[in-house]
Each structure stands twice: as structure tokens, then as C-alpha cells.
Structure 1
Amino acid sequence: MVVLNKIYTKTGDTGETALGNGARVKKYADRVNAYGTVDEVNATVGLARLHATGDAADQLARIQNDLFDLGADLCRPDMAKDAEAEYPPLRMTDAQVTRLETEIDAMTQAVEPLRSFVLPGGSALAAHLHLSRTVTRRAERLCVELAAAEDVNPAAVKYLNRLSDWFFQASRIANDDGRADVLWVPGANR
């Protein structure tokens, strides 16, 4: 259980922050950029949830919780030392990736195949889901970059990759199962 008795600690006043293992790093460290961007994704999902109802609202709530799991995973380097940790680190799992894939497959069955690229927009929910998709893509790029230099849970990277696809399909569902998608018309304004 997390207990936050004091919100400001002043420990970051010198431009450093603590990782999940207690190590101090610069606030601009690659790992901090990666999990900070995951936090940004979570904030965009919160905006999308303002427009969601039913299954979409429930799915977005699960995704927000997963994103906190993902942040916890990314803030804890040294996966090889997980067994030695006083408290077992929280890591993303393939089951979380599989759940997204199952939901994407169900959404894909509900929409017509695309004949053009989709412009971000349509309904308010769809527009917010597109924003979530683009920020997720940035988070994925940062995690891939981090993984090139440091140890990163492969399930974390896979989750972000599937999540951007999930947001795309969910945006189509939010646009009347794709019937209200805003389609790109190549060269329309020449």
C-alpha cells in the first residue's frame, strides 16, 4: 500500500529523482523520460474517459491501471536483480499484451476495412483517443531507445506497441464503428 503523507520532499530540487530501486538519476535521464511519457499517456486517457461510456469506459480504466504498472516497471532498472529485491518489482506481463490483442481483434470485427488513412478527429472521444495514440507512440520510441542502452522488460515495449493500435481501433469504434471517420484525401488542397 502506498501512503503519501507529504507531497513535496525537496529531494528533486537539484534536478535529480529516485528510481524504484533508490538510485538517484538526473530528471532528464532516458529512463525518466520513458516513464514520464507513459504518465503523459495516462493523463490523455483520463481526458478520453470523460467522453467514454460502457465497455469503452471500463477498458480505458483498465488501461490506466496498466499504465501505472508500466511506469512502475520502467522506473525499476536491473531486472536481473529482481529476485534479490526486498519487495518483488512489478513487471508488465504478456497476459496484459494478450488482453489488448483480444480487444483489438474484437474491435476490428466491428469496423469496415479502411480504404484510406484516418485523420485524427470525428467525435470528441475519437479525437482524444488519437491523442492517446500519438503520445503512446512517443512513449514506445523512448522505451525502444532506452532498451538499446539499458535493461527493459520486453513485455513493456510490446504493451506500448499494442496500445497504440488499441487506441486507433477504439477511435474508429468511437466514430460510429468507422462510419464517421475523417479520411485523408491525398492532394485535396493542391
Structure 2
Amino acid sequence: MSKTKVVTRTGDGGETSLGRGVRVPKCSDRVEAYGSVDEVGAMIGVLRSMLEDNAAVDARLRAIQIDLYNICADLHMPGEAGAALRIDGSGLERIEAELGEMNEGLPRLANFVLAGGTRAAAFAHLTRTVTRRAERRVVALARAEEVNPEVLRYMNRLSDYLFILARTLNENGAKDDLWAPRGVR
């Protein structure tokens, strides 16, 4: 049985390879972007581990993890060489539809929601903030190099999705902890 070699030592000097073997610094905008997207996928994996009794949400989050791996592949292979890896709008359409379904069952918000409530909801809020950071990394890359616009749209919508998911996981908003401006309690 053959094993995949994980330790290559090729990155010991602070560089890594993009698709097609192009070497770049590990701190490049592109590596920061796909590394941050990968971090979101890992956090969603932790969130999934908190959903023992919710197979439907688990399946939705698994599909999002797959989308995020596809986004990483898209970002990992710049230029025409990666054309076959470009994501299309199908993942975005799916999460927008799910977002709409979840949002229908929630009460209207009159104030900001503090991160908290159930453990899963609190972690969904944390994942939302990391998603926003990953989105900022993708935007920074897009300012310097060409990036598939579908990646930008997906990352923007995913943070909205995670906010609505957090409210859903807070018993459809019943356990939301609402912020009150200073002096208004």
C-alpha cells in the first residue's frame, strides 16, 4: 500500500507552489486568500461536529465545505491554466435559496445580535467573522491580481448565511442575545 508523502521539505524556505509549480512566498496575497478560505472550511467542520441531531443542517454545511475546497482550488491555480477549476454560480444559488428558507422562520430584527446563545450558534457567529476576514483576503488579492468574481460573491454571501444559520441554531431567534445601545436597556 502506497502512502501520500506529506513532508516534502520544499516549503522550508518560506515558499510554496501554486498550481503548475509556480513558487510564491507563503505570505503572498494568493496564499493568504486560499489559506483563509481553508480556515473557514475547517471551522465549518467543527460546527458540523456540534450538530449531532441535525442531519439536514449538517448536509448543507458539508456542501458548503465542498464549495470552499473548490474555491481554494480556484484561487490556487491563477490564470488560464486554472480555467477548468473556476467555480460557477451554482453554489451561490444554492446557499441563497437556503438562506431565504432559513430567514423566513426568523423574527424581524430591531437591533444587533450579540454572538452567543447555543454553543453551535456562538460557533456559527465566530465562523461568520472568520469568513469576513477570508473575504477581505480575497478582496485584497482581487485588487492585485485577477480573481473569479464568483469567489467574491460566494464569500460575501456565506457570511450572511452563517449569521442567519446562527439565529436558526438559536431556536429560530428565541435565544438571540440582542444588543442595546448604551443608556437604553
| TM-score clears 0.5 | yes
Gaps of 5+ in 2: none
Q: 1:87-98 counterparts in 2 under 5 A?
A: 89-98=84-93
Cα distance between partner residues in 1 of 2:46 and 2:133: 18
Cα distance between partner residues in 2 of 1:72 and 1:66: 10
Taking only aligned residues, the RMSD between alpha carbons, in angstroms, comes to 1.7
Match of 1:37 in 2: 36
Cα distance between partner residues in 2 of 1:39 and 1:11: 20
Classify the secondary structure of the residue corresponding to 1:17.
strand
Gaps of 5+ in 1: none
CA distance 1:109–1:177, shift in 2 (3 Å): same
- Identity of aligned pairs, percent? 46
CA distance 1:32–1:4, shift in 2 (3 Å): farther
Residue 147 of structure 2 corresponds to residue 152 of structure 1: yes
| Letter paired with 1:8 | V
Q: Is the 8 A contact 1:91 1:153 kept in 2?
A: yes
Deviations 1:70-106 (CA, angstroms, capped at 9, x unpaired): 111111111xx24xx6xx6322211111111101110
Match of 1:63 in 2: 64
Cα distance between partner residues in 1 of 2:76 and 2:90: 20
| Letter paired with 2:58 | A
Match of 2:156 in 1: 161
Q: Is the 8 A contact 1:104 1:169 kept in 2?
A: yes
TM-score (norm 2): 0.93
- Give the length in aligned residue pairs: 182
Moved over 2 A (4+): none
CA distance 1:25–1:101, shift in 2 (3 Å): same
